[in-house]
Amino acid sequence: MSNFETNDHFYLSTNALSLMNSYVGSTFVVKYGGSAMRNNVLQSNVVQDLCFLRLLGINIVLVHGGGFFINEWLSRLNIEPKFENGIRVTDFETMELAEMVLTGKINKELVSLFNQNNIFCVGLSGKDANLVQASAMFDSPENLTGKVDLVNKKILNLLLSNNCLPVIASIASDLQGNTYNVNADTVASAIASTLKADKLILLTDTPGILYDSSNYSTTIKDLNLKTIESLQLQHIISGGMIPKIQSSIDALKLGVESVHIIDGTLRHALLYEVFTSERIGSKIVL
């Protein structure tokens, strides 16, 4: 059994219990990143929620980034991180460091947390079994930021059909063996689209999409593509939210039922967003 605590009033909700039953056999792709994973306590809380979902019979695919930790290591080396429209610009030195941090450190720490909760999982990057094939996003040979070309559905189905929870670092390669750092939102969206997931859930360090980025009480709870277009025209969506929104739109157009952007730093945020009517993040549908 998982070490998940069951004494929260959340579990007394009849509505929640009904929703739990309705999601048995569903597939959720969860992207975990940002400052929401900045310490062991936050990571443990999120993993426990994911373990609970898995024990309910929901198929979980976890995709993680780790920009907070990459920036931390870049700072130690006196390297200034660079971004364009919310996407990291990856030179050779940053690429080498990103792969070490994401696949060698964060991925295995998350796997270890699942192991502690007796959940059968496996840690991967997009390079393993050609799970995610990528190519360069930019023309410059010195920028190793990548985009997703193809997701290997066969390996994902193999893992999920054997009750295995994949934990995937957003590092990928092309058929020539070149390695790319791919935005984790983009990887999660591509995987969710390939699996036709019921939900794509983006765990970040903000409450969702905000009318006013300086006021967390302005979270927009329900959106559709028309609403998103209006917000883009008003330049309300900016910075790191840009790739999240584009990933959300791509996933919805390719068959994902709904996308949720929520604050992963809040305890049980995942469960409240999925199982209660008082959702805490932003839900996007077609």
Residue 65 annotated in ligand binding: no
| Crossing angle between the packed helical segments 67-76 and 92-99, to the nearest 10 degrees | 120
Count other C-beta atoms under 10 Å from residue 74's C-beta. 18
d(CA 125, CA 64): 10
Residue 181 annotated in ligand binding: yes
| Beta-bridge partner residues of 283 | 222, 260
Residue 177 annotated in ligand binding: no
Instruction: Give 3-state DSSP helix, strand, coil % of the chain, rounded to 5.
Output: 45, 25, 35
Residue 67 annotated in ligand binding: yes
The answer to whether the beta carbons of residues 171 and 183 sit under 8 Å apart is no
The pair of three-digit structure tokens given for residue 127, joined into one six-digit string? 């390079």
Query: φ and ψ at 41, to 5 degrees?
Result: -65, -45
| Crossing angle between the packed helical segments 184-195 and 153-161, to the nearest 10 degrees | 70
> What is the number of helices (H) and of strands (E) in the chain?
10, 14
User: Which residue positions form the known binding site for substrate?
Assistant: 66-67, 88, 181
User: Which residue positions form the known binding site?
Assistant: 66-67, 88, 181
